């Protein structure tokens, strides 16, 4: 006997399963986990951000930069020299340099060779010596020997980028700038305070979320926190003053809220 093929109304018929595209949600099988990327901390709320900076201010009401300087010009030079160098190393080199020349005119008179001799313990000292003389010459030629107080003018000087300009504007001229270095970049991303893929993204977010009363000193508090507590390799989470607020999923240990 010849059997007829089953029709759609027969009990033995099977409806074709819809095609499943690879990579779609329906493709996941029980017992298998989808690949996960890095876990990002959730953003801090405005109230949590306020509390973070309240604690920073309570602990250190008047934070200071750690680069030694005499005036805006020596501050500018010190920050230029600090690229890929430690503040301690820069301070050791600039004590003699600034004793010999603390104005653009005096630095030009000192000359590139002698500047190089003073800073030869700092990384990239050849390039930095050239930049120090060149920016001194430009300050004299275009600004009457005075360090300008605008980011645009500062960034036109040899060896001066956005971060350097922001440091000078903040410390020398009291402007509420956010100089995002490697420490602030790390703290902003780890904690959920101001995440961003670039220093400029972190800077922009900090400018948007830091409450007005804390903006002048915010970058100092964050730099010091990143340098001495929220360090790159072995963060000191057990003694972190904002450990209970921080949203970093890899904290080394939980801490009780600060008093």
**Residue 83 located in a structural domain:** yes
**Mean pLDDT for the stretch of residues 78-93:** 94
Using a cut of 0.85, tell me whether the model's pTM lies above it. Answer: no
**Residue 88 located in a structural domain:** yes
pLDDT at residue 8 tops 50: no
Q: Which of 181, 173, 164 is nearest to 222 (CA)?
A: 181
pLDDT at 197: 96
**Residue 210 located in a structural domain:** no
Domain count, the chain: 1
Q: Is 181 a catalytic residue?
A: yes
**Residue 222 located in a structural domain:** no
**Residue 94 located in a structural domain:** yes
CA distance readout (Å), 216 to 36, 137, 163, 164, 248: 39, 31, 15, 16, 26
Place of tokens 């959730």: 42
**Mean pLDDT for the stretch of residues 228-239:** 94
The rounded percent of the chain whose pLDDT value lies above 70 is: 81
Q: Which of 102, 78, 100 is nearest to 90 (CA)?
A: 78
Residues 4 and 17: their CA atoms lie apart, in Å, by: 23
- Read off the pLDDT band of 125 (50, 70, 90): very high
Catalytic: which of 163, 212, 244, 251? Answer: 163
Q: What is the pLDDT of residues 185-229, one digit of tens each?
A: 999 999 999 999 999 999 999 999 999 999 999 999 999 999 999
Q: What angle do CA 125, 159, 71 make, to 5 degrees?
A: 90
Q: Answer yes or no: is 237 a known binding residue.
A: yes
Question: Among the listed ranges 53-67, 161-175, 238-252, which one has the minimum average pLDDT value?
Answer: 238-252
Q: What is the pLDDT of residues 57-71, one digit of tens each?
A: 999 999 999 999 999
**Mean pLDDT for the stretch of residues 36-42:** 57
251/68: higher pLDDT: 68
Q: Answer yes or no: is 142 a known binding residue.
A: no
Q: Answer yes or no: is 133 a known binding residue.
A: no
Domain of residue 90: give its range: 72-173
Question: Among the listed ranges 9-18, 22-31, 79-88, 224-233, which one has the minimum average pLDDT value?
Answer: 22-31
Q: What is the pLDDT of residues 105-117, one digit of tens each?
A: 999 999 999 999 9
Place of tokens 């000191």: 236
pLDDT at residue 91 tops 80: yes
Place of tokens 């329906």: 26
pLDDT at residue 250 tops 60: yes
Q: What is the pLDDT of residues 152-165, one digit of tens each?
A: 999 999 999 999 99
Catalytic: which of 17, 87, 128, 181? Answer: 181
pLDDT at 222: 97
Residues 73 and 187: their CA atoms lie apart, in Å, by: 29
pLDDT at 122: 94
Place of tokens 């009457």: 144
Q: How many angstroms from the chain centroid is the CA of residue 50? A: 19
**Residue 35 located in a structural domain:** no
Q: Is 59 a catalytic residue?
A: no
CATH of the domain at 166: 1.10.340.30
pLDDT at 37: 46
- What SS3 string covers the chain? CCCCCCCCCCCCCCCCCCCCCCCCHHHCCCCCCCCCCCCCCCCCCHHHHHHHHHHHHHHCCCCCCCCCCCCHHHHHHHHHHCCCCCHHHHHHHHHHHHHHCCCHHHHHHHCHHHHHHHHCCCCCHHHHHHHHHHHHHHHHHHHCCCCCCCHHHHHCCCCCCHHHHHHHHHHHHCCCCCCCCHHHHHHHHHHCCCCCCCHHHHHHHHHHHCCHHHHHHHHHHHHHHHHHCCCCCCCCHHHCCCCCCCCCCCCCCCCCCCC
Residues 252 and 39: their CA atoms lie apart, in Å, by: 15
Q: Answer yes or no: is 22 a known binding residue.
A: no
Residues 190 and 248: their CA atoms lie apart, in Å, by: 5
**Residue 185 located in a structural domain:** no
pLDDT at 253: 63
pLDDT at residue 21 tops 90: no
- Read off the pLDDT band of 42 (50, 70, 90): confident
**Residue 241 located in a structural domain:** no
């Amino acid at each position: 006997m010849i059997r007829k093929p089953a029709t759609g109304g027969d009990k033995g018929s099977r409806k074709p399963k819809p095609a499943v595209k690879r990579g779609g949600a329906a493709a996941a099988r029980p017992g298998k986990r989808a690949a996960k990327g890095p876990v990002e901390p959730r953003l801090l709320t405005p109230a949590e951000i306020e509390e973070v900076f309240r604690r920073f201010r309570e602990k250190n009401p008047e934070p200071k930069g750690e680069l030694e300087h005499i005036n805006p010009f020596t501050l500018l030079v010190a920050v230029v020299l600090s690229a890929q160098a430690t503040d301690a190393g820069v301070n050791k080199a600039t004590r003699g340099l600034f004793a010999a020349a603390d104005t653009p005119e005096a630095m030009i008179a000192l000359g590139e060779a002698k500047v190089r001799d003073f800073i030869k313990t700092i990384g990239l000292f050849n390039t930095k010596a050239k930049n120090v003389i060149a920016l001194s010459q430009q300050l004299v030629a275009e600004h009457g020997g005075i360090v300008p107080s605008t980011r645009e003018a500062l960034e036109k000087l040899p060896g001066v980028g956005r971060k350097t300009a922001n440091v000078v504007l903040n410390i020398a001229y009291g402007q509420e700038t956010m100089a995002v270095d490697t420490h602030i970049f790390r703290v902003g991303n780890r904690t959920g305070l101001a995440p961003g893929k670039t220093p400029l993204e972190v800077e922009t977010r900090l400018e948007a979320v830091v409450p007005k009363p804390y903006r002048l000193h915010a970058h100092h508090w964050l730099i010091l926190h990143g340098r001495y507590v929220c360090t790159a390799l072995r963060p000191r989470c057990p003694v972190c003053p904002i450990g209970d607020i921080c949203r970093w999923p890899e904290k080394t240990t939980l801490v009780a809220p600060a008093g």
